[in-house]
Amino acid sequence: MVKKLPQLWDLSLGLFLFFFKRGLAIFFKYSHPSKPLYTHNM
């Protein structure tokens, strides 16, 4: 159980990063063309 934990953590972290980057890319794709992000956040 203890030996399997790091592998599982690595896998979940990789999956999280993958989906996070995907969501970020999609977010930028749909919010960027109209106006820059820093003016949108003000």
Q: How many residues does the chain have?
A: 42
**19: its two tokens:** 């989906």
The upper half-sphere exposure of residue 30, i.e. CA atoms within 13 Å in the direction of its Cβ, equals: 5
Q: Note the pTM of the prediction, 2 decimals.
A: 0.48
User: What gap in Å lies between CA 7 and CA 28, rounded to an integer?
Assistant: 31
Per-residue pLDDT of 8-38, as tens digits, reads 889 999 999 999 999 998 888 887 665 555 5
| 19 vs 39: which has the higher pLDDT | 19
Predicted confidence at residue 42, as pLDDT, reads 47
User: What gap in Å lies between CA 5 and CA 15, rounded to an integer?
Assistant: 15
Sign of CA dihedral 25, 42, 35, 31: positive
